[in-house]
Amino acid sequence: MALHLDNTTQQNVNQWLSGAYDAETKSQIQQLIDQEDQVTLTDSFYKSLEFGTGGMRGEMGVGCNRMNRYTVGAATQGFANYLLTVLGNQKIKVAIAHDSRNNSPEFCRIAADIFTANGIEVYLFPALRPTPQLSFAVRHLGCHAGIVITASHNPKEYNGYKAYWSDGSQVVAPHDKNIVSEVNAILSVDDIKFQGNDALLHLLDDQIDQEYLKTIQANCRQPEVIQRQKDLKIVFSPIHGTGITLVPRALALLGFTSVHVVQEQAEPNGNFPTVIYPNPEEKEAMTLALDKAKALDADLVIATDPDADRVGAAVKSPSGEWQLLNGNQMASLILYYLLKVDKKLGRLTGKEFVAKTIVTTDLIDKMCAQQGVPCYNTLTGFKYIAQVIRELEGKEKFIGGGEESYGYLIGDAVRDKDAVASCAMIAELTAYAKDQGKSLFDFLAEMYIENNFYYEGLISLTKKGKAGAEEIKQMMINLRSNVPASVAGSKPVKVLDYEGLQSTDLTTGQVSPIIEGRGIEASNVIQLILADGSKVSARPSGTEPKIKFYVSVNAPLASAADFDATFTALQAKVKTIQEDLGLK
């Protein structure tokens, strides 16, 4: 069988075989040609790996559509060019970190060399560290930017590159699109300066760990409660990632003395040998931790993803079975605790606020309103929450916030999801519950009894290829033009269309603007608000051939004894909404 590559793929292959690429890279490409591996060659070379507004992510290997030293090099050179253009003759500083994935240390050092080759000072973590610590380091060290080499919770074949600005947040407008333009302008490997200048390289030491851990200790609301419940049995798994470096240290610093690490998953390993996906949202990834919890009769299970920005948790139900909490439940519990305790301690002065994304549970809005604390809703993505913190800095104090995809933040020392700080706060609120003779499950039920049982279902539909993209587009058009008269027996009363930034009251016909700013800009998202308080949000993915529907329903919970029955009824309602909207 002869190879039949399209023109673009063949041109890219030829460029890599004839350009200034290393011999090993050319040998691997030639091997694919000799094996007539058309599928791998096409996927590796049919396009360039896209550097998007938050960075890039892809499978590792040779080729312009893979993560390798040259695609990392082009991304870094473009980023460096932008920094030099915008900041001129300033003494530019960049912080760099990496996770536990295969090739992460090498990609990290390549990026460091390219920055220093361009006259930019680099503050480099010499070993793996959590992504939130990179965010902290950018601000703490007064850096102008930062990067972290990670693919978050993607499968082992992947790696990635996240770009940060001087406030410790992932880059937002106008820098995001401007950096993308500079990266796209790197048309040849000859444009990349690989030869580093070690005189501009500074290796970070344990001092930066200590400074970061101090901010987590400062988040602690009730150290006396932890002291009384210091033997709380906590099972922790880093799932072969960076969480092992700082989560046990943070818990020990707060005073917890009975932290049990899942040893089979303690060693950082980019092959993630004990899981299919290194994602604490997946029950399979939590299996070993849950088994250990059962054996120890533990009080809490927590697990972090490879770059330790997301955390999953599990609680023991009254029947003795361990249940995983979803991202909405844990975000709500954290805020329920913080609002309750801050009020008791006199910390609510009228200048505090919470932030979350528009697809995260409205239970948080309700609890904030009861305490007179503003809750700002942003587009999906933690960089938008960070934008709100930045805009209100010096005027209002950020208590905490989160998003439904297992990412939470307490305090403003970090400007990204922070699983290290979240693990510490989850342990504290569990200790608080136990100090009152309650389990974390009891605490969850208490929150629902006070505020209604809120349940959120995610319906993710994959529509591949050009036909799929057209189908997704048509689904959004239909939602905008044909609002159903009734959904699950409830009438839609409001439509929020973020693409046109307008809100339509369906009972009066009044149209009002959705105010841009504070984490809100034009985006292809629609929300239907129903008369019974249910909400449906539709959002096409920007990176995958998917459209996601976030369904939120709620009902009163009379007592903890009614938990299972109410939960079952709410699940059934989500299914009815799915069927009524034809989501399949």
Considering the candidates 48, 104, 135, 152, report the single residue annotated as catalytic. Answer: 152
Instruction: Count H helices and E strands in the chain, helices first.
Output: 18, 22
Q: Tokens standing for 69?
A: 């030293």
To which residue do tokens 């009438």 refer? 491
Written as six digits, the tokens of 22 are 């290393």
To the nearest 10 degrees (0 to 180), the angle between helices 327-344 and 419-435 is 60
Handedness of CA 411, 414, 419, 421 (dihedral sign): negative
Instruction: Give one DSSP letter per residue of 401-439, joined into a string.
Output: EEETTTEEEESSS-SS--HHHHHHHHHHHHHHHHHTT--
137 closest CA partner among 220, 53, 217, 204: 204
Residue 490 known to be catalytic? no
Structure tokens given for 9: 């793929």
Beta bridge partners of 455: 553
* CA-to-CA dists, residue 526 to 286, 418, 441, 469, 508, angstroms: 33, 28, 33, 17, 19
CA distance 130 to 200: 23
Query: Residue 60, Cβ neighbours under 10 Å: how many?
Result: 20
Position 321, amino acid: E
Looking at residue 549, its amino acid is F
Distance, in Å, from the CA atom of 131 to the CA atom of 508, rounded to the nearest integer, reads 47
> Which residues are catalytic, by number?
152
